[in-house]
Chain A
Amino acid sequence: MKSRYDFHVDSLRYLNDQGLPLDALPTWAEESERVLAAYRNMVLTRTFDQKAIALQRTGQCGTYPSVLGHEVVGTAIGQCMTPDDVFVPYYRDQAAHILRGVKLSELLLYWGGDERGSAWQDCPHDLPIAVPIATQCCHAVGIAAAMRIRDEHRAVVCCLGDGATSKGDFLESLNLAGAWHLPVVFMVINNQWAISTPRSLQSGTETIAQKAIAGGIPGHLVDGNDYFAVTDQLLQALERARAGKGASLIEAVTYRLGDHTTADDATRYRSAEELKQAWERDGIKRLQRYLHHRALWSPDQEQQLQTDCKATVELAVADYLAVPPAPATDMLDYLFAKLPKALEPQRARLVVRHGQEDV
């Protein structure tokens, strides 16, 4: 029998768990300011995350999905994308949102139960957080198709988790991205757990990256705790997309170090030992060790950064907590571009029951 088609999945890693390079780093890694900025964003994200959880625990924020363990991938995404690109997130992309211009107070406002938290004043074009799993993949290919129709050299980055790769939305989008050669990068953040369902029960494939083959696009495996690996692969994928050469899939392997959300208790389904091992591969610690090796970072700088991040987060929390409630009529006023006549009586009822701001 003749072999008709064979495939392999490459895997990229630059740093070992101790932050030492395994190989020569890509040339852009010499831009130490870029690497330092990445590290600062990761620490800010983690500081924010801890605070958001604390706010939820004290009744000041709603159910919140911790980003713990995703800071490296999100930071790489935020750095590699240009302002003209469009980010299509799921719901654990805080690190990327921060670099894309979303305010920390807006993120808190969103998880604090207020639609205005998706109105993103300084990030007008990215899609809002997508809660229904994998549905955003279809939007990503639609946006990429719009770019193709208009002959623009822009790209879309679409984030999803390992669980989302089981859904048809993802597979249908992957298929279209291949068939139409769309400028989109699917970033699958494989954190090993979809709430309580482990990666092994999600799919029988050896890797998620290889699912790209079925869509006719390249799939790459990267160490999702390795800032250099994620960034390098993503830079290549984005360059390919913007050059009109088509889509890519990147599987970034990491670990969800926190609970699924503040409403979840991961001790019900995974062992303390597994979690302990995952912490040893933590990407922030790894990058910090690298910076120390390269003499780019000192304990004093670390102390200062921690202080700065806490102050930044506290300011954001103050902004968030100071946001007055929206008028009840907002629930109708943004449904359509113009309030249909049919809804006027219901709006009037809201005004009678709850008052309103002048519109």
Chain B
Amino acid sequence: MPNVTLVEAVNMALAWEMDHDPNVVLLGEDIATNGGVFRATVGLKERFGYKRVMDTPLAETLIAGTAIGMATQGLRPVAEFQFMGFIYAGMEQLVSHAARLRNRTRGRITCPAVFRAPFGGGIHAPEHHSESTEALFAHIPGLRVVIPSSPQRAYGLLLAAIRNPDPVVFLEPKRIYRAVSQPVEDTGEALPLDTCFTLREGDDVTLISWGASIHETLQAADRLAEQGISAEVIDVATLSPLDRDTLLCSVAKTGRCVIIHEACRNGGVGAEIAASIAEAAFLDLQAPVVRVTGYDTVMPYYRLENFYLPQVEDIVAAVEQVIAL
């Protein structure tokens, strides 16, 4: 079994599905000959031809809308936005069409498309290349928002996203595109959507996160273990629709919860999770739910980005705070 990085796992999943489903096509900027600016699609044009791996003009509204049009015909387009910072031009297409087509035609027309975008900070990228605005999409009924946090989950969740009969916004944490490798079996086996993954079991506190922040969260759990605090770590993975059951069960067990996300705090997905816990598990809580997040400001340019991103120390401190209560 090969050891692969997260971005290589994306490539593997795309290749597997293209090989097994002739309806899968890729479109985006610089994805064909260049293989994508992060090389997520490298080698696929050579293997599947330009007809199925298409370089588009530089126009994000068009990329979103074209993918939707293709999807209405039963193709399974996987559209790449080069960076999440450029996805907003496609927002009207995602909100007003991709998310609504099945509902507004009562199932007559559907949109089985995947919209991929690298997102998040921490790689010293140019301005507009480091934001985490997943909450914008999670707020839209009809869109699935999926974020992998490891090569195995990138592979399995992307396969599931492509096979899903409805639109999926698939956000790839580019800070960990190449940060870790792990063995990924190329068997075409998908992982379930709409399901949280419990990465580490524990009894004293539930740590909830997704994307790149999972790695700081796991490191924090290691450090807390040294202090005798047993932390459960949950990767939300599908931000919408949200698997509340897994989160609530864990909080019922631990009685304490810290939510970690890179996105700014105000109106973030962490707020939805905290509210859900308050509504359904209030009596299980032994301390208030605490969030460790980015600040409510514009994502800083890279000289300040590490001051913005949640660090292991921040997570440990938050846990110490809720344990003390």
Residues of A at the B interface (CB closer than 8 Å) are: 86, 88, 115-116, 118-120, 124, 127-128, 132, 135, 137-149, 168-169, 172-173, 175-176, 179, 330-331, 334-337, 340-343
CB distance from A7 to the nearest CB of B (A): 21
Chain A, residue nearest B164 (CB): A337
Contact A335:B141 (CB < 8 A) given known A115-B105, A118-B104, A118-B108: yes
**B66 A115 Cβ-Cβ under 8 A:** no
Are B194 and A169 within 8 A (Cβ)? no
Does B103 contact A334, Cβ atoms closer than 8 Å?
A: yes
Interface SS of A by simple majority: helix
Contact A115 B102 (CB under 8 A): no
Q: In the complex, which of the residues A88, A143, A340 contacts B241, with contact meaning CB atoms closer than 8 Å? A: A340
- How long is the Cα–Cα vector from A345 to B166 in the complex, in angstroms? 21
At the interface, yes or no: B212 with Cβ under 8 Å from chain A?
no
| B interface, CB within 8 angstroms of A | 25, 51-52, 54, 56-57, 59, 61-62, 64-75, 77, 89, 92-93, 96-97, 101-110, 141-142, 144, 164-166, 194, 240-245
* Interface pair A116/B106, CB less than 8 Å apart: yes
A-B contacts, 12 listed (Cβ < 8 Å): A132-B96, A138-B62, A138-B66, A138-B93, A139-B69, A139-B72, A143-B69, A168-B61, A334-B102, A336-B144, A336-B241, A337-B166
Cβ contact within 8 Å between B103 and A145: no
Q: Are B93 and A337 in contact (CB under 8 A)?
A: no
In the complex, what residues of B have CB within 8 A of residue A334's CB? 102-103, 106-107
- Chain A residue nearest to B67 in the complex (CB): A142
**Which of A127, A341, A343 has a CB less than 8 Å from the CB of B109?**
A127
Q: Are B102 and A336 in contact (CB under 8 A)?
A: yes
Given A128-B108, A172-B61, 15 other A-B residues pairs in contact with their CB atoms under 8 A: A116-B106, A128-B104, A141-B66, A144-B69, A145-B70, A146-B75, A176-B66, A334-B106, A336-B142, A340-B194, A340-B241, A341-B194, A341-B245, A342-B194, A342-B242
Query: What 3 pairs across the A-B complex have the smallest Cβ distances?
Result: A142-B69, A138-B65, A342-B241
Nearest-CB residue, chain B, relative to A146: B73
Q: In the complex, how many angstroms separate the beta carbon of B249 from the nearest chain A beta carbon?
A: 13
B108 to chain A, nearest CB (A): 5
